Amino acid sequence: MEQVPCVHCGKFFIPRNRSQNYCTKPDCQRARKAAWQRYKMKNDADYRIQQ
Short-list 14, 29, 26, CA closest to 5: 14
Q: Which residues bind Zn ion (CB under 5 A)?
A: 6, 8-9, 23, 25, 28
9 vs 45 by CB, closer to Zn ion: 9
Kindly state the smallest distance separating residue 48's Cβ from Zn ion, in Å: 33
Kindly state the smallest distance separating residue 10's Cβ from Zn ion, in Å: 7
Contacts of 6 (CB under 8 A, 6+ apart): 12, 13, 21, 22, 23, 25, 28
Q: Which residue type occupies 30?
A: R
Kindly state the smallest distance separating residue 46's Cβ from Zn ion, in Å: 29
